[in-house]
Amino acid sequence: MKLQIAVDNADLALALEYADKIHDVIDIFECGTPLLMREGVHVIRSLKDRYPKMCVLADSKIMDGGAIETADLCEAGADIVTVLAVSDNATIAEVIEAAHAHGKLAMTDLMCVENIAARAKELVEMGIDLVAVHTGVDQQAQGRTPLGDLQQLVGAIDSKMSAVAGGVSMDTVADYVALEPGIVIAGGSLYNAVDVRSAVIEMKEELS
C-alpha cells in the first residue's frame, strides 16, 4: 500500500516546506484542489523542479475540457491527474488518453456516485488507472466516512487500483488498511501534525 498526503490548506511556500520534510518518505504528494486553485500549475512545476523523483498528484477534479486540462497538468509535471467519475464518459476518455499520451496516470474520484461498484467497473473497462472513494470535508462534517464505500469498491475491482480518502487518521487507518486498498490518502491528520515527517513515517508503518 502507498501513502498519499493531500496538501490542501497551503500556499506555494508552505507546500514546498512540507515537501522539503517528506519528499523522501511520502509515496505520493497531492496538490489538493484548494492548493491548485490558489497557486495554479505553478505549484506543480515548483515541486517537480525541486524534487523531480517525487510522485506528484494534481487533484484537479476535472469535469470538462478533459484533454486540454490534463495536458496542461502533465506538462507542468503532474504524475497523476484526477477526474470526477460523475463526468461524461467522453471527458473521462479524454483525460485517460491525454494522461497516457504523456506517460502519466489518471485517477477517478467517485464522490457523489450512487452505484460505486457498477461505475468503478465501467471506468476500469475504459482504461482508468486508479479509482478513489472520497468523502469530502462537507460530508465528513455530517459524520460520514468512506469506509463503507471502500468495501464496495474493493469488492468490485482489483484492490490495487483502489484509493481511499476522507478523514483518514492514525485512529482510523487500521480499518482501511484491513481492506487492502492500493493507496491510502490522508490530509490534515498529517500536515497539521507537530512533526509532519514523523506523522508520515508513523502512518506508513501502519500500511506495511
Q: What is the tally of structural domains in the chain?
A: 1
Domain of residue 80 covers: 2-207
Chain centroid offset of residue 175 CA = 19
Q: List the alpha helices (DSSP H) in 3-146.
A: 12-22, 33-39, 42-50, 66-76, 89-101, 116-126, 137-140
**pLDDT for res 196:** 98
Alpha-carbon span 103 to 74, nearest angstrom? 9
- Asked whether residue 62 carries a pLDDT value surpassing 70, the answer given is yes
CATH of the domain at 50: 3.20.20.70
Question: Nearest-CA neighbor of 69 among 54, 82, 56, 88?
Answer: 82
Angle at 72 between CA 68 and CA 75, to 5 degrees: 135
**pLDDT for res 105:** 98
Give the strand pairing for 28-31 and 56-62: parallel
Give the pLDDT confidence of 91-130 residue by residue, as tens digits. Answer: 999 999 999 999 999 999 999 999 999 999 999 999 999 9
Strand (E) or helix (H) holding 206: helix 196-207
In this structure, what DSSP letter does residue 160 have?
G
Give the pLDDT confidence of 18-32 residue by residue, as tens digits. Answer: 999 999 999 999 999
- Asked whether residue 142 carries a pLDDT value surpassing 90, the answer given is no
Mean pLDDT for the chain overall:
95
Residue 120 backbone dihedrals phi, psi, to 5 degrees: -60, -45
Mean pLDDT to the nearest integer, 75-98: 98
Mean pLDDT to the nearest integer, 195-205: 98
